[in-house]
Amino acid sequence: MSLFAGVGGGGAGADPASAGGTGRALLELTPHKVAVCHLVQVFAPPAQAGGDVVPPFPFESVAHHNRLGLFLFTLTRSCDDFREPSLEELLRQLKAVDDLTNGWLCGQLTSTLSELNSPDDLFNFFDKLRGVLTAPEGASAEDIFLDPNSQLGVFLRCCILAFNSMTFEGVCHLLADLVMYCNSADASYDLAEDEDFDSDMSNLMDADVGPQAGIFEKYHQGYASESHMGESSSALNRAPVSLHDFDEDNTFKVHDNPACLRSRWQLEAYLNQQADILEKDPSSVPLNSFNATMTQLQTLAPELHRVQFLQYLNALSHDDYVASLDNLHRYFDYSAGMQGLFARSVSPAQDIVVGKYESALLCLGNLHCYFGHPKKALEAFAEAVRVSQMNNDDSCLAYVLGAISNLLSKIGMSDTVGIISSPYSLGSNIGLGTPLSIQQQLLVLLKRSLKRADVLKLPSLLSFDHLSLAKFDLKHVQRSLVSFGPNASTKLRTCPADVCKNLRLSSRVLTDFGTDVLSTSNENGSFSTSWLRNLSTASDSWRINSMKSTKLHNDFDSFHYHAQPSPVPAPVLQLAGSSYLLRATAWEHYGSAPMVRMNALVYATCFADAASSSELSLAYVKLIQQLAMFKGYSAAFCALKLAEKKFPSSTSLHIQLLKMQILHERALHRGHLKVAQQICDEFGVLSSSVSGVDIELKTEASIRRARTLLAAKQFSQAAAVANSLFSTCYKYNMQVENTSVLLLLAEIHKKSDNAVLGLPYALASQSFCKSFNLDLLEASATLTLAELWLALGSSHAKRALSLVNQSLAMILGHGGLELRARAHIVLAKCHLSDPKFSVPEDPEAVLDPLNQATQDLQVLEYHEMAAEAYYLKAMAYNHLGKLDDREEAAALFKEHITALENPRNEEDSLAY
């Protein structure tokens, strides 16, 4: 049988023409590859006809033999660093597999390398490797041999080909490199059992790998470290470099370790891995050290222009506009369009190289969008659409349409003339003479991008478009493009079924993508890199199990479940996680608190490894908001402290905003208006002054300001801020936000004793809520409407009670502490205001909701509402003739009123 049969060769086993189009060897033969070749030879020794199917020496079981095979497979595909690991690092990793043989593999490796003293020794070494790939005469299917088409087989063939292509001078240089490679390792390679290894790039770069006394000391006399001459392969795959460090005596020394670059496939995978790290957590990547690493890699491999693209991403994540723009220009100037950004079509007949100009425009548009220049971003995107159409670059065109849709959905725009051909037409068959609204343009762009992604078989973009359509269906009432005639649509509501349908379709696309693509060998090296990183952890549990029994029956299963990461690509996991995050947001709108918590928990639990820091912090924010609503501020602040340790508020905008929101709510409840105004000023600083940027943050800042003015009883100023905010939301088509603003206006008029003026706003807000299926907000609007009717007189008590009963089930089932307490107070007020209601006949109808309200408000420290609740309790006890209870309630009422009118220790509201 063949070991690892059917495993693709990946980058190393590609067609020779794909290795640069020259007659050079597929890879540069280095000492590390020679060491791996020896381990492959131990794993699959030359086959012998008629041999028994038993594990070869020195393996004690088939599982132990497979452990080395898995280790070699991941070793040839991992890409943790752009340089190959040193011998010391290889021995550290091999020690986890070599435990049962008491260092036999490590000893054989070092002794074999020490015996390679001449070109003849190297020739004999590679000549023996041929027997590993050649099945002997008369071999049957049960005989063990290495499949030449497997990953290890292709690697071995490439190494043999590289050696056969070397000149005599190249062989001599390989021997000299072997000297430095062996001298870089400590002679005492027998490592401690519990010593963990770390393959972090910075540790590798700073590691002391200088020559040390050991079993390879004889090489110092055999070979000199003269300069290399007569290189037989490209400078891309190898580049000697001197690493400078200080020894224990603080004396300067130069390390003679040759830093050989990995294969081109591994370098590309390494760069992709660094790009994923920049996307997931840019704050964890230091700007200068990352640039230094990329500069070093660019010096060693000048042909890798994507290094400049990584520097562009790094500068972008650190908000350096000049550096990001400069690196972006350099990347597209030097790459000459030969390195496309998008995957090619699955059909080999449509193998079109992506042009550089439209890709550059797409990146430039994203750059302007990130730094808050929406008009410049739209100009770049529009030009990218034109060039993509001219060059028939369908993939880039689909991504540009997706980028424009993302821009329009995230950034408020009031005018987008010229995005879709002209502002007055959608094509040749529809010309209405009326410019399209932002929502209509966004919907058309999303559907165009969705259609192109489906035709081009771009699953990631297809899933993203479905998520974007779900977000659109959630936040916008779909109006027909033709607003009159028999084909005009009368549907002026959002449809939760459409949102759920698009969310399901997005997940289904990713599922189909997983079954079709993950079965092939398409991983980029991150899986193997993670496998090696977790090797020591897995080996610890495996070693414990092996101590219990001399026969290893389940060590492979233990190794598999404890060490291997998820094989699903990170972009797939990110999109799948975004679906759950959007589900949580949808249930926030629809008013189901348990579903919000469930989806946020699923995201934080299952997709944390692949999620970006921004999205993961957003999931934490949703969970902490639920704590604040249902458990009070103490529980929320405890969770916030834990979240700040994971996401520092200085680097995470979501965490920073959440902290300010909770502090502002608590300050308003306590009556600390100076603190609330100070937090409002901080909101104003955070909200950008650039038109069209951070529009949601601007909305939040205006709402906080209006609520602060309302708490200070400056009703006219609060109404002016709310009216201005309503105009802004209407201008930018923020329909859902308008609902909250209308409810705020109704609240302002209610507290200013203008109930008649507040009724239209409450009714309008209630109508908006019904159109958008905002069930919980609709219940709050209905409650406000009941309060306004009560303010008009006791004759409207029955109508107000009917409205409260309509919303009570929703509020008690999904509302937070504040909303529940407010509903209980309004319910008691309705009974007390009704002249036909007798408190002595049914005291529980008034006292039970008031008692529940006071308990909830005690947790929130809401002085104003708590004072109202105790005032109503005092009235109820007065009707019942319970004078002691009345005086107690009156005393508590006075206590809350005093705390509200004469706030003390306001600085405590900023502590948590």
> For residue range 498-541, what is the model confidence (pLDDT) as tens digits?
898 888 888 787 776 654 444 444 456 766 777 677 665 544 44
For residues 531 and 74, give the distance between their C-alpha atoms in angstroms, rounded to a whole number.
7
Nearest to 367 by CA among 403, 343, 340: 403
Of 150-154, 363-367, 748-752, 876-880, give the lowest mean pLDDT range: 150-154
- DSSP for residue 348: G
* pLDDT band at residue 749 using 50, 70 and 90 as cut-offs: very high
Nearest to 744 by CA among 732, 762, 760: 762
The amino acid at 368: H
More confident of the two residues 617 and 189? 617
| CB count in 10 Å sphere of residue 3 | 19
> For residue range 675-713, what is the model confidence (pLDDT) as tens digits?
999 999 999 888 766 555 577 888 899 999 999 999 999
- DSSP for residue 185: S
> For residue range 320-332, what is the model confidence (pLDDT) as tens digits?
889 888 988 888 8
Mean pLDDT of 368-379: 84
DSSP string, 545-573: HHHH-SS-SSHHHHHHHHH----S-HHHH
Q: Residue 143 pLDDT more than 80?
A: no
Give the model's pLDDT for residue 712: 93
Q: What are phi and psi of 196, to 5 degrees?
A: -90, 145
* pLDDT band at residue 459 using 50, 70 and 90 as cut-offs: confident
Instruction: Establish whether the linkage from the previous residue to 58 is cis, with ω within 30° of 0.
Output: yes
Kind of pairing between the strands at 2-3 and 252-255: unpaired
| CB count in 10 Å sphere of residue 193 | 10
How large a percentage of the chain has pLDDT more than 90? 27
For residues 590 and 495, give the distance between their C-alpha atoms in angstroms, rounded to a whole number.
11
> For residue range 284-310, what is the model confidence (pLDDT) as tens digits?
788 888 888 888 888 888 878 888 888
Q: Residue 416 pLDDT more than 90?
A: no
> Which residues make Cβ contacts (< 8 Å) with residue 160, sequence separation at least 6?
126, 129, 130
> For residue range 205-251, what is the model confidence (pLDDT) as tens digits?
343 433 333 333 333 333 333 333 233 333 333 333 333 333 333 32
For the CA atoms of 487, 493, 497, 499, what is the dihedral angle to 10 degrees?
100
> Which residues make Cβ contacts (< 8 Å) with residue 402, sequence separation at least 6?
449, 453, 461, 464, 465, 468
DSSP string, 640-703: HHHHHHHS-TTT-HHHHHHHHHHHHHHHHHHT-HHHHHHHHHHHHHHS--STTSSHHHHHHHHH
Contact 433, 394 (CB under 8 A): no
* pLDDT band at residue 120 using 50, 70 and 90 as cut-offs: confident
Angle 693-698-704 (CA atoms, 0-180°, nearest 5)?
Answer: 170
Give the model's pLDDT for residue 259: 58
For residues 208 and 257, give the distance between their C-alpha atoms in angstroms, rounded to a whole number.
10
For residues 318 and 286, give the distance between their C-alpha atoms in angstroms, rounded to a whole number.
9
> For residue range 801-835, what is the model confidence (pLDDT) as tens digits?
999 999 999 999 999 999 999 999 999 999 999 88
More confident of the two residues 82 and 102? 82
Give the model's pLDDT for residue 181: 81
Of 556-570, 605-619, 808-822, 892-906, give the lowest mean pLDDT range: 556-570
| CB count in 10 Å sphere of residue 761 | 25
More confident of the two residues 468 and 250? 468
Angle 830-832-837 (CA atoms, 0-180°, nearest 5)?
Answer: 95
* pLDDT band at residue 336 using 50, 70 and 90 as cut-offs: low
Mean pLDDT of 616-631: 93
Q: What are phi and psi of 246, to 5 degrees?
A: -115, 140
CA atoms within a 13 Å half-sphere pointing along the CA-CB vector of 767: 8
569, with CB counted inside 10 A (0-12, 13-18, 19+), is: buried
DSSP string, 26-50: SS---HHHHHHHHHHHHHSPPP-TT
Mean pLDDT of 61-66: 75
Give the model's pLDDT for residue 129: 83
Mean pLDDT of 580-602: 92
For residues 454 and 462, give the distance between their C-alpha atoms in angstroms, rounded to a whole number.
6
For residues 816 and 62, give the distance between their C-alpha atoms in angstroms, rounded to a whole number.
59
Q: Residue 858 pLDDT more than 50?
A: yes
Global confidence as pTM: 0.73
Q: Residue 553 pLDDT more than 60?
A: no
Give the model's pLDDT for residue 548: 42
For residue 234, is it left (φ>0), alpha (ψ between -120 and 50) or beta?
Answer: beta
For residues 619 and 614, give the distance between their C-alpha atoms in angstroms, rounded to a whole number.
9
Please give the helix or strand (H or E) that residue 259 lies within, else none: none
> For residue range 253-290, what is the model confidence (pLDDT) as tens digits?
333 444 577 777 788 888 888 888 887 777 778 888 88
Contact 448, 499 (CB under 8 A): no
* pLDDT band at residue 135 using 50, 70 and 90 as cut-offs: low
Give the model's pLDDT for residue 865: 94
Select, from the ranges 75-84, 238-247, 429-438, 869-878, the one with the highest average predicted confidence (pLDDT). 869-878
Contact 214, 154 (CB under 8 A): no
Kind of pairing between the strands at 2-3 and 145-146: parallel
For residues 865 and 818, give the distance between their C-alpha atoms in angstroms, rounded to a whole number.
9
Encoding tokens for residue 150? Answer: 């497997």
Contact 599, 581 (CB under 8 A): yes
Kind of pairing between the strands at 252-255 and 243-246: antiparallel
How large a percentage of the chain has pLDDT more than 70? 71
> For residue range 425-445, what is the model confidence (pLDDT) as tens digits?
333 333 333 345 677 777 888
Give the model's pLDDT for residue 640: 93
For residues 754 and 788, give the distance between their C-alpha atoms in angstroms, rounded to a whole number.
9
Q: Radius of gyration of the chain from Cα atoms?
A: 35
Nearest to 168 by CA among 259, 229, 115: 229
Q: Which residues pair with 422 in a beta bridge?
A: 425
CA atoms within a 13 Å half-sphere pointing along the CA-CB vector of 44: 29
Give the model's pLDDT for residue 754: 92
Please give the helix or strand (H or E) that residue 246 lies within, else none: strand 243-246
Give the model's pLDDT for residue 561: 37
For CA atoms 730, 733, 736, 737, give the dihedral sign.
negative
For residues 798 and 251, give the distance between their C-alpha atoms in angstroms, rounded to a whole number.
91
For CA atoms 670, 675, 676, 679, give the dihedral sign.
negative
Give the model's pLDDT for residue 746: 96
More confident of the two residues 369 and 234? 369
Q: Residue 355 pLDDT more than 60?
A: no
For residues 188 and 688, give the distance between their C-alpha atoms in angstroms, rounded to a whole number.
60
Mean pLDDT of 387-391: 84
More confident of the two residues 601 and 50? 601
For residues 720 and 754, give the distance between their C-alpha atoms in angstroms, rounded to a whole number.
15
* pLDDT band at residue 14 using 50, 70 and 90 as cut-offs: very low
Select, from the ranges 416-420, 426-430, 567-571, 753-757, the one with the highest average predicted confidence (pLDDT). 753-757
